[in-house]
Structure 1
Amino acid sequence: MRERLGVIGGSGVYTLSGLADAEWVTVETPWGAPSDAILTGTLDGQPMAFLPRHGRGHVHTPAEVPYRANIAALKMLGVTDIVAVSACGSFREEMAPGDFVLVDQFIDRTRLRPASFFGKGCVAHVSMAHPVCARLSGIAGDAAEATGVTVHRGGTYLAMEGPQFSTLAESRMYREVWGADVIGMTNMPEAKLAREAECCYAPVAMVTDYDCWHPGHDAVEVADVIRVLGANADHARALVRGLPARLAARPAPCPCGCDRALEHAIITAPEARDPAMIRDLAGIAGRVLAPLD
């Protein structure tokens, strides 16, 4: 089956223009409904699916985003590669507002969000040592640079719970002690779930501000963030338009092993697996889980 590119749009990116045969489709999953209907179609011959993470109109807070349903719905539509766009604050002077950061590592500080498709009745442990698909991230970086935006390849993303922004003490700790490069509220547990769904995942973090550690930016002002978001959204849409041509030579299997993440991850013995959970997992892990009668 040919790969399908999935794009998750973050703050400021709520739709995608230019798709042929564009259609908003409703998808129901065992984990409920995703954030919104999903826009499907083709771009330069590349099958695509676009999902606004917060819903059109920005109706979901970061903690309320139905992350499991979002990733499950994309997987059920045949998505193999996910480019996830999100807004972020920067802990580095050189990562300035308006720049794009190709995140390759995470520190997860979220605490209120279901972070796995698996659980009692079927236990699995996937590796998150390298949580980003290097191949797909490189493609996204090339497409971003072609738009003229400044791109930083590599960076650690601190995922906070939100919806409030950091305290000054937290901002300093994340930057100076923990060594994070950017901070946001939405890439976790998204990256973990994409790995469990055996999808290639590449986040593109769009810098909107310097959080509050910077002496010249000691408080995050929403008005300033929204102003930068508008310019970033234009660059993000241009990035997406540049992806199809660069995906034409996609290798199979994925050289990073993303599409085989569950190969040895299932721990629960076959006879101990919950049949109801196995049925729910069919769209996510059917490749490695045989349904029980």
Structure 2
Amino acid sequence: MTKIQVQKIDTFSGHRDCVYALQPALQPHHFFSAAGDGLVVHWDLTRPDWGEVVAQVPASVYAMAYDSVQNQLWVGQNYEGIQRIAPYEKQVVSSIRLTSTTIFDIQFFENQVFIGLSDGVVLIMDKDQFAVRKHLKASNQSARCISINPHTRELAVGYSDHTIRIFGLDDHVLHYTLVAHTNSVFTIQYSPDGRFLISGSRDAHLKVWDVSEKYRLHQDVVAHLFAINHVVYSPNAQWLATCSMDKSIKVWDATTFKLLKVIDRARHAGHGTSINKLLWSTFDNQLISASDDKRISVWDIKSS
């Protein structure tokens, strides 16, 4: 089994509230964060002492997405709507009032934008026109997370009613309903090759679904002590990382789904509270984590 070496590189501080969102930027060594303080901050992985506020919104930000084509950030303002921000100019390009509920996720595919809301609706917007085209309503409970499979042209949505629903990307028709977990589904992620759908839940289980077998359950791992908040693949798709309310990050083999490394406070001077979001950067394979402790940590992950 591959052995993993982990080294904490830096800690970025400056947010005044829990950090909930991380997104890449135009340059590989840059990234963006957003938090409960409404601040959207631009960071440089080569300069941990530097951070630049590019926007401030009047509500907590749980969801943010980076449009690399237009070099714009889509920022979800809870109980309001979406702002499109040109981060380097620090300008609001446009905004739209969408909802009076919480915005949990924003995902792009081609010219479509999918937005998960706490009332169970998934809004579908036209990216170029910045206009709402459709409402997908399949549950009365929160649409917490969204992932897109370009290989099968399917959209997966994880809900607080413990299910995952799979829709067609083109016709938006419901294909499958997976009775997936025993609590809210907080994170889902298709594998880069489209073979598997990975889900993590408040029930602390990490589950692997075989896409080609009509989403048959392939593996069920009791992965953490408490809720799994996010799952990401490494840039080379060799590893998976999960983060949890139990204050730990875990690195897994993406083929066998065996645990390779635990990153926590005791062993690696990790976070002291819930870890909410991960971003696995292409810059030197650095893993970035955001936490309720208002801090962002950067980890060097290597195979020994």
* Same fold? TM cut 0.5: no
Shorter-chain TM range is under 0.3
The structure richer in helix per residue is 1
TM-score by length of 1: 0.28
Q: Which has the higher contact order (CA 8 A, sep 6+)?
A: 1
The structure richer in strand per residue is 2
TM-score by length of 2: 0.27
